[in-house]
Amino acid sequence: GESVGLHLPTLSVQEGDNSIINCAYSNSASDYFIWYKQESGKGPQFIIDIRSNMDKRQGQRVTVLLNKTVKHLSLQIAATQPGDSAVYFCAEETQGGSEKLVFGKGTKLTVNP
Amino acid sequence: DTAVSQTPKYLVTQMGNDKSIKCEQNLGHDTMYWYKQDSKKFLKIMFSYNNKELIINETVPNRFSPKSPDKAHLNLHINSLELGDSAVYFCASSQRGLDEKLFFGSGTQLSVL
């Protein structure tokens, strides 16, 4: 099976709340992780990435946390807005390996006004 | 300016037909990809080309033939279309060695009737 998966297929939050999207991966050799956002009718768009030598990285309103011990990745979105409604994918890559991104199944985030 | 553009956006065709999807990127990247997204939003890599050379060829039927005339273009030709080929096909590009972020096109929704 695929090495990257998600705990929840859907997530519904209220506008202004914080959102947390989780991802589990099984390949302990993976050393690069990316979160993508896909809005309806569009291609996936890069949000934030993190390498395995880090456990946290922050962007604008988003934070990615990496726990290598339990092979878990999460995306935190602060003050979620209706425009954040989309499907979110985590993806992993093994540098120096096949050099291909393996995508998880995706979590659909719905932000209620 | 569109970074990764693919045409057509929608493609409806009969079983058994042959069709092509075109992709162009103006980012100066050296690597291009084709991904297939099924009805459950699962994204899976099909092919990858680096400087016009095939570097990733996943288990894809040989009815699918990618062609890269130059590093800015990667087209996908599909022979003898089958019902199961119905999906959204995404082109993407990246610059190897810089970072592995993929930039995606907006997708081609292929419907085989």
The string of pLDDT tens digits covering residues A99-111 is: 678 898 899 999 9
Q: Which residues contact A34 (CB under 8 A, 6 or more apart)?
A: A46, A47, A48, A49, A90, A91, A92, A93, A101, B100, B101, B102
Return the number of other C-beta atoms located less than 10 Å from residue B96's C-beta.
Answer: 14
| Closest partner CB to A34 (pick from B45, B101, B105) | B101
**B33-69: buried (b, 16+ CB within 10 Å) or exposed (e) per residue?**
bbbbbeeebebbbbbbbbeeeeebeeebeeebebebe
Q: Which residues pair with A46 in a beta bridge?
A: A36
- Closest chain B residue by Cα to residue A86: B41
d(CA A76, CA B47) in angstroms, rounded, equals 31
* Cβ neighbours of A42 in B, within 8 Å: 106-107
Q: Express each pLDDT in A65-99 by its tens digit.
A: 999 999 999 999 999 999 999 999 999 987 665 56
State CA A66 to chain mean position distance.
10
**Tokens 């956006």 map to which residue?**
B9
pLDDT attached to residue A1: 36
Q: To 5 degrees, how large is the angle CA A52–CA A104–CA B106? A: 105
Q: What is the pLDDT of residues B59-101, one digit of tens each?
A: 789 999 999 999 999 999 999 999 999 999 999 999 876 667 8
For A100, the closest of B40, B56, B104 (CB atoms) is B56
| B103 chain-A contacts, CB cut-off 8 A | 46
- Any residues with CB less than 8 A from the CB of B88 and at least 6 apart, and which? B36, B37, B107, B108, B109, B110
Asked if A96 has any chain B CB less than 8 Å from its own CB, the reply is: no
Query: What pLDDT is recorded for position A38?
Result: 96
Residues recorded for chain B: 113
pLDDT value for B39: 87
Task: State what percent of residues in chain A have pLDDT above 90.
Answer: 73
Q: Does A87 contact B at CB distance below 8 Å?
A: yes
DSSP B27-63: S--SEEEEEEE-TT--EEEEEEEETTEEEEE-S--TT
The H or E element that residue A55 is part of is none
Q: Does A45 touch chain B (CB under 8 A)?
A: yes
